[in-house]
Amino acid sequence: MPDEAKAFFCLPEELFYTILHKLPIKSHIVCISVCKTWNSIIESPSFVSSHLSHTIPSYKENDTHLCFLQICSIDPTEDRFSLRFDDQDLTECTSLHFPYRAKYGFQVFGSCNGFVLLMNGKFGTFPERLILWNPIVRKSLIISEKDLSALAVAGLGFDSRANDYNVLTVSRIMQKDKALKFELYSLNANSWKQLDDVEAISHGSVVVAHREMAFLNGVLHFVALRQCSGGRPPMYLILGFDLEGEVFQEIMLPDSRVRNYTGPKVQVCGESLAVFRLNSTNDGMDSILEIWVMKEYAVEGSWTKLSNISLGGWATVLGFRKGGHVLLSMNKGSRGIDKVGQMVSCDPKSQEIKDLKICGNHYCFFFDSFVESLILLDKGNDLSRYFEVESCCVTGTSSNATSSRNAMDFVHDD
């Protein structure tokens, strides 16, 4: 064992772990190569969890706001991922490289505690695979293979009771009109199970409206469309799946009617659920963005309308930024028929729209808040038998990132 490692073990245990928790992830990756003991400590599930529990409060104390961004060119195979500071201009902190290429690129379905859920290709392409990826420790994992041909929506969340990360998938059962199948993946067990006690939720009545889920309070939320009986019009609602109790709940929307807008999108705004709705104008060349926030979780009477914004074009909502600003991909074509999207930030209060000078494929943007973590450091598999390996790997800082900001400290150098 090197002398430096021995010196650390002479420290009181509490001080030793305090130092480890404060080290940037780049240093952790170096440390696991120092000796077997350090490797065992840093890769242990207990340390990975405790490191994350120290990191999140430190972000708040230091007012560090990072976000994960996916941008695609018009060619869907040219995926670009980056970490950004959630500042006025969404300044790039570092580019991130996923070292594989797929024929139709990769779609991001969500992120949680520093790692990301991806799927290769587009809906309807085959074979599709779900991938977990931690871009900071550069580890990726193909989730146990399953048939995704009927996948409607997927989401990633954390079960704090079991200290386990779960992926929930919702698939349409083709043999049964509009019926749904729910399956849950456990990272700890590396296996899937079908959720059977959901007939009351899914039987012949629910069609999922959006591919992404919103994770809040241990619950994965997604929007569904229910076909009502007795000649009544269909209605939108939110379905929530509690990962700890493995039970579903229904949350009614403030206005569930199906009108001339795209399906509502559920998002997280701070510690609250929020819903976006885009209403089309008569000529289809403009859209009105409605923003609703649920002030008390699961209390349907607490829905409050935050804003009603004329966008001057068609848009896709990407999510909330710090301070409550909304990130959008604007598209000047009627109902978003053009592929080119322009990323803008909108202040719901002043309704001011700021062009962020970021362009890409209108349908392939993804945005979410991000926190560094060691998840997957002890896992990972070789994806080269599934996908083409990129010929180069580029990871570095943007020239705009200043040395006073320490977020780059945790990126592992080549």
Query: Do residues 120 and 104 touch, judged by C-beta distance below 8 A?
Result: yes
Give CA–CA dist 74/341, Å, rounded.
Answer: 10
Q: Which of 355, 315, 317 is nearest to 331 (CA)?
A: 315
pLDDT at 118: 92
Q: Residues 263, 243, 117, CA angle at the centre, nearest 5°?
A: 60
Beta strand pairing call for 92-96 and 396-397:
antiparallel
Amino acid at 248: F
pLDDT at 203: 54
Amino acid at 329: S
End-to-end CA distance of the chain: give it in Å, rounded.
25
Give CA–CA dist 110/210, Å, rounded.
Answer: 12
61-370: CATH architecture: 6 Propeller (2.120)
pLDDT at 334: 56
Q: Which of 68, 166, 25, 13 is nearest to 369 (CA)?
A: 68
Q: What is the value of pTM for the model shown?
A: 0.86
pLDDT at 403: 31
pLDDT at 192: 93
Query: Do residues 221 and 240 touch, judged by C-beta distance below 8 A?
Result: yes
Spans of the chain below 70 pLDDT: 1-13, 74-77, 122-127, 174-178, 197-205, 256-262, 281-285, 332-338, 391-414
pLDDT at 256: 63
pLDDT at 413: 34
At 342-379, the pLDDT tens digits run 999 999 999 999 999 998 888 788 999 999 999 988 88
